[in-house]
Amino acid sequence: LSIGWLHQDNAHRKGMYVLLRAFARVHSSRPDARLVIAGAGGSALPSLESLRDELGLSDVVEFVGAVSEAEKLAWLQRCAVYAQP
């Protein structure tokens, strides 16, 4: 799980592109792993989705959009790993 507003500047600052590339490496050895990225969509979403698809991760990386505080807590409680590079 990672959480962040997906505006271009913020996505770079929060390391979302780095996270996708790192997750591709994780997924190669842990094909059961999946990544959920929560946060309001923004100008970076199309390029993040393209990178996800280029890395062959479209089936295992999900952008769930903006979440409420309660949803955020639920995601945090059930995730195995919270990643925020």
Per-residue pLDDT of 9-25, as tens digits, reads: 999 999 999 999 999 99
Mean pLDDT of 48-57: 98
**pLDDT in the model for residue 85:** 84
pTM: 0.93
| 3-class SS string, 8-71 | HHHHHHCCHHHHHHHHHHHHHHCCCCCEEEECCCCCCHHHHHHHHHHCCCCCCEEEEECCCHHH
- State yes or no: pLDDT of 27 exceeds 90: yes
